[in-house]
Structure 1
């Protein structure tokens, strides 16, 4: 995608949604970190449903360790891979207490050393909690980057680096949220809704998906 088109691509996303936010619910930086860890291979809605009651009373590493592994599992048992995730959350909570005074570090390398925290999770926390210009490439961003031509790459890291290189300064902080939401609600995996996409003329994807045919009820109306 040409530089001028990249600017226009982001300008349209910004105009449509000036202040994008993560759809994961949290009450502070620590619970954000926990929510992102739990969201791996799970939907944000599913994580939110499981963590609302949890975060109402457990909002620090100390409280999480006090809750214990079995107590945490009872809260998150509806989330996929909850056994492994529960172990990681308890372990990262213990590490935060031991190594960071109970605070979430504002450093990607330090975050990635925590149990269950990979590069994508660290990038999300850095961006949402600390306003860093990071690009957390999930399946949605990977798809949108490659499909549109905005940032092509065969691996998640390649797409992240392509986005980092291509995304201009005014749009860098919010870029990954715009792209996630665009992939989640418009540029869908199985059937992208090209007919209602604000980027249709800038996108390299072919053939464009046509609008669905109206149902008989809609035709009658």
Structure 2
């Protein structure tokens, strides 16, 4: 468990593009629609971005003891009382324009945030783990889908290189290429989440966006993700 969960929701504003809510949100966050937008306060942060078909996706991370989850899903159903409490907290923490978006969102829900310590291996004979089975990660690197796609690409290239007659060497090479990469990416994403949530880390002081230095803020940029643009595909490129 990461130490926090996320309130999530999607606001459909089709037909209300010129409403006070949407116009106010665009004024508060002028870059909305061009990129992921982050807003940070001490001990919490929110991510919002515009989707196709006039929708706003928002994610609000909340520090908490581990919630009790029924079944195997990390998505929790929420009661009306929980939603109303969330709305009240939103108006205390976030700008009114964002709090209004949260209040007008139908059926918000909670995702409990987990990851997994990096595995020591992802290959057993001719059994290969890829995607979230190999490296479940927190969302703060915005990398999970990319990691899974690259797993498939690298595995395909290794199988192509070694051929169907050598199903021992291909998985071994896949593991030698991908395991060092995804290990660093999982740990980096975990670190970014803890920094943004103001949670303790052994090698730095607790992050406070209200007094953070420019260098501390630069540390949060996504381009600092290990292998951000140069993850190897074949062993020759490692």
Tell me the TM-score normalized by structure 1: 0.28
Larger % of strand: which?
Answer: 2
RCO higher in 1 or 2 (8 Å CA, sep ≥ 6)? 2
Which has the greater radius of gyration? 2
Tell me the TM-score normalized by structure 2: 0.27
